Amino acid sequence: MTGVTTSELLAVVAARELRDDTTVFAGVGVPLLAAALAKQRHAPRLTLVIEGGIIGPEIAPGRLPISTNEMRAGRRATMLPGITDAFLFAQRGFVDTGFMGGAQIDRYGNVNTSVIGADYWAPKVRLPGTGGANDIASLCREVIIVTPHERRRFVERVDFVTSPGWLRGDGSRHQAGLRFGGVSRVVTTLGILGFDPESRRMRIEAVHPGVSVATIREHTGFELPEAPRVETTEPPSAEELERLRALDPERRFLG
């Protein structure tokens, strides 16, 4: 898609996944951009939750926060509780959707943001860790992962399960005590991936314009089946891009 950056594509497609009259736990950057765009366009009653303990803020165009704890993130917020209370709301079932990224993701939607390498104590790369990501993956009613689509990210098995998806599939998430939630979608720079409702294995559900199923498979480190019907996503419209770019005119997150 000419003239559209990968970050813009991710933000627009992810925004379309959000629904009105729901609550989304969104981190700063592309997830917050997507949530703010959805609230502007088609979900005016979408409630944003930010990890620093901010409920229901209004994100001002051109004033996008760069941290979950700065005052711009709390503009006209409904509530400013403590950070632990924000996660308590999720634990009590009040947060519908969690937005996440990650360094690695496997066929069952498990996410690694801790270490790259087989030895946790002597890894090749030590990553930032969980922050609130484990809580989001465990406690939100559904999780949407937003990530670039690269073979090094989509691996057969993550080196460390920071945030649980469907674990080993076939009911293993429920058996582990996580009685609700799970990853519903993976929005990438190549398409949209979902999960088989029985096995919980990742599958191709949509491709972006100009992208083939073969290209998605080429950039994935494990076997990736197709859903019964593979759709083609609508490219970002001029209006979506205009609103999105107004939110981040300095392009700190849009690239």
Q: Which positions ≥6 away from 162 have C-beta within 8 Å?
A: 102, 111, 112, 113, 114, 129, 130, 133, 134
Helix, coil or strand: residue 163: strand
* Statement: residue 185 has pLDDT above 70: yes
Q: Are strands 111-112 and 54-55 parallel, antiparallel or unpaired?
A: unpaired
- Indicate left, alpha or beta for 179 from its phi (over 0: left) and psi (-120 to 50: alpha): alpha
Instruction: Give the C-alpha separation, 230 to 218, whole Å.
Output: 17
**Predicted local distance difference test score (pLDDT) of residue 210:** 94
**Predicted local distance difference test score (pLDDT) of residue 1:** 63
What's the pLDDT tens digit per position in 145-162? 999 999 999 999 999 999
- DSSP symbol at 60: P
Q: Could you tell me which residues are beta bridge partners of residue 14?
A: none
**AA identity, residue 181:** G
The CA–CA distances, whole Å, from 18 to 35, 48, 102, 117 equal: 7, 11, 20, 34
* Statement: residue 165 has pLDDT above 90: yes
Mean pLDDT across the stretch 182-201? Answer: 97
What's the pLDDT tens digit per position in 43-101? 999 999 998 889 999 998 888 888 877 888 889 999 999 888 988 999 999 999 999 98
Best-predicted range by mean pLDDT (78-87, 210-219, 244-253): 210-219
**Predicted local distance difference test score (pLDDT) of residue 169:** 95
Helix (H) or strand (E) holding 34: helix 30-41
Closest Cα to residue 155, out of 202, 222, 217?
A: 222
At residue 228 the predicted structure's pLDDT band, cuts being 50, 70 and 90, is very high
What's the pLDDT tens digit per position in 2-46? 789 999 999 999 999 999 999 999 988 899 999 999 999 999 999
Q: What percent of the chain has pLDDT over 70?
A: 99
Q: Could you tell me which residues are beta bridge partners of residue 100?
A: 145
**Predicted local distance difference test score (pLDDT) of residue 3:** 85
At 165, list the tokens: 């998806």
Handedness of CA 15, 20, 25, 28 (dihedral sign): positive
At residue 135 the predicted structure's pLDDT band, cuts being 50, 70 and 90, is very high
* Statement: residue 122 has pLDDT above 90: yes
Q: What percent of the chain has pLDDT over 90?
A: 79
Helix (H) or strand (E) holding 143: strand 142-147
Q: What is the CA radius of gyration of the chain?
A: 17
* Statement: residue 255 has pLDDT above 80: no
**Predicted local distance difference test score (pLDDT) of residue 121:** 94
Cα angle for residues 209, 212, 216 (degrees, 5° grid): 110
**Predicted local distance difference test score (pLDDT) of residue 156:** 96
| Phi and psi angles of residue 111, each rounded to the nearest 5 degrees, phi first | -120, 140
Give yes or no: 51 in active site: yes
Q: Which of 17, 51, 205, 240 is catalytic?
A: 51
